[in-house]
């Protein structure tokens, strides 16, 4: 495993341990909804 992959795995593990990963996911989801991303993707698929 290269250094970048090790760093990514370590950061991901720390985010999971602290609960920050779920918080970041919720914040990102809220921002995407606020910006209308979901509607844009639905329109693009149609």
pLDDT in tens, 1-46: 799 999 999 999 999 999 999 999 999 999 999 999 888 888 888 8
> CA-to-CA distance for 6 and 13, rounded, in angstroms?
11
The pLDDT, as a whole number, for residue 39 is 83
> CA-to-CA distance for 9 and 35, rounded, in angstroms?
30
The pLDDT, as a whole number, for residue 21 is 97
The pLDDT, as a whole number, for residue 40 is 86
Count the helices and strands in the chain (H runs, E runs): 3, 0
What range does the domain containing 30 cover?
3-45
Q: Is the dihedral of CA 25, 26, 31, 32 positive or negative?
A: positive
> CA-to-CA distance for 38 and 46, rounded, in angstroms?
13
**What are the residues whose beta carbons fall under 8 Å from the beta carbon of 12, sequence distance 6 or more?**
21
Task: Give me the number of domains the chain comprises.
Answer: 1
């Amino acid at each position: 495993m290269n250094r970048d992959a090790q760093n990514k795995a370590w950061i991901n593990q720390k985010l999971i341990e602290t609960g920050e990963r779920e918080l970041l996911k919720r914040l990102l989801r809220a921002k995407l909804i606020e910006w209308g991303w979901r509607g844009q993707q639905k329109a693009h698929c149609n």
